[in-house]
Chains A and B, each alone.
Chain A
Amino acid sequence: MEKLIEITNMNVKLNNRKVLDNISLTFFKGVSVFITGSASSGKTTFFREIAKRQDRKIKKGVILEDTIIEPGTVRDVLTQDDDYNNVADVIAFLGLDKVWLSKCCTLSYENMTKLLIAKYLIQKVDILFIDRRLQFLKEKERKRIIEYINKRQVTLVYSSSNIEDSLYFPYMVVLDKGIVAIEGKTMQVLAEEKLLKRLGIGLPFIIDLSIQLKLYGLVDKVYSDKRKLGKYLWK
């Protein structure tokens, strides 16, 4: 698997307090990652450090919670690229045609998020880091955008406190007090119910329900899909 970004021993100290403590993570092409953790676990600090890095061999996009574009209109920002076909598809998908001539400074938070995503997709970044922003979109829209980013062969690294979103990602990292508490394939991480509970992390509803049903002997394994779970229960 092609390595895009390899982070070794990332340390951040603020006012003699360790915010990130020896974080080592590798991001691979085509393997999107969900990052979560309880309050003050270091998620935002991690993304800010990623934004500061110089990664010359790859094209990287970072959208932080407070990232905005101020000057110009949506059209100004997105038509710097002369491949209009590439631009048109992204604009239509993200609904930015509705605000095409709007000034960036007048955009809602949701539309600003979509503009930033569009900008990086048009630039054809290899990897895109998004800190929390998709949480402000409805679930259907969020899922749609995550799938679209993946379809465009951009590795997405997304941080959120909404554990339900973990199911859209093949790989998951849980931060706790500035360290990587657990990482791995999402279903394997979510199977560590006791550890996650200790870290203050809940489980996605369907996973939690499956685990409880498995304890009752009603299902054979943990399901992440309601249809498969329903089908098994009443087979």
Chain B
Amino acid sequence: MEISDFVKKNKIIALSNFNVSEVNAVDCFVVRTRTLSDNISVREYLSKICSNDKRLEDSCKMVNENSDFLNRIVMHLSTTELLKLFLMEALLGKYKNIVLVNFDMYFMEKELLFFKKLFRKLVDKYDKSIVMFCDNVNFMFDLVDEMYLNTADRIYEFDGKDLYNKKIYKYLDKPKIVDFIEYLGNNGKVFDNYTEMKELLKAIYREV
């Protein structure tokens, strides 16, 4: 399998339940965790693709870091800081196609909201295409344009608006809100398929 089979221009595509090692990623930049043992600064690390200070500082802002980040030593960066560095590398290197591998696994919910907005911006305004290996329905919701779900017999395709879908939950973890609404439904209390807690709260308040 090739990543190019899934890349769609100016779209965010999710690949779920895939074995990353079985997908060949060429002509793209892959953002995934890996350790770096270079005793050099972030600025020096990125100098191979960009030495323009303004562009370097702008790329720091894009990943929610200030310009001090450029002076940090690469081998001392945390896991999440390394992911941000690789994301900066992808942006500065002007790669059209970016692949994110399990990006959602490393950040808390609030941090992920920031990245959701960033990824959408990269695709809508900066002419990028993104493919993400992701099994987190919550993260993919309101973000991806399409999702491909790998199963033993075939690969299913879902529209990004249709991710709260029973077919998907056979293979991926159900979002907790869906799980709770389903539980209530199985006990005689039927609620709509809310995706926001506020809406569910109002509905429970009306019902109780």
Contacts and interface: CB of A to CB of B under 8 A. Distances in A.
Give the secondary structure class of B's interface. Answer: helix
A3 B79 CA distance: 30
A40 B81 contact: yes
Contacts of B109: 163, 202
A216 B102 contact: no
B82 to A, nearest CB: 10
A226 interface: yes
Contacts of A14: 73, 76
Nearest to A212: B201
B105 A202 contact: no
Interface in B80-98: 80-81
A153 interface: no
Contacts of A227: 183
Interface in A197-227: 200-202, 204-206, 208-209, 212-213, 216, 218, 226-227
Contacts of A226: 179-180, 183
Q: How large is the interface on B (under 10, 10 to 19, 20 to 34, 35 or more residues)?
A: 35 or more
Interface string A119-158: 0000000000000100110110000000000000000000
B208 A233 contact: yes
Contacts of B35: 66
A38 interface: yes
B173 interface: yes
Contact of A208 (B107, B187, B197): B197
Given A39-B111, A216-B205, A65 B79 contact: yes
Contacts of A39: 78, 80-81, 106-108, 111
Interface of A: 14-15, 17, 19, 36, 38-40, 42, 44-45, 65-66, 108, 132, 135-136, 138-139, 161-164, 200-202, 204-206, 208-209, 212-213, 216, 218, 226-227, 230, 233-234
Interface of B: 19, 21, 33, 35, 72-73, 76, 78-81, 102, 105-111, 172-173, 176-177, 179-180, 183-184, 187, 189, 197, 200-201, 204-205, 208
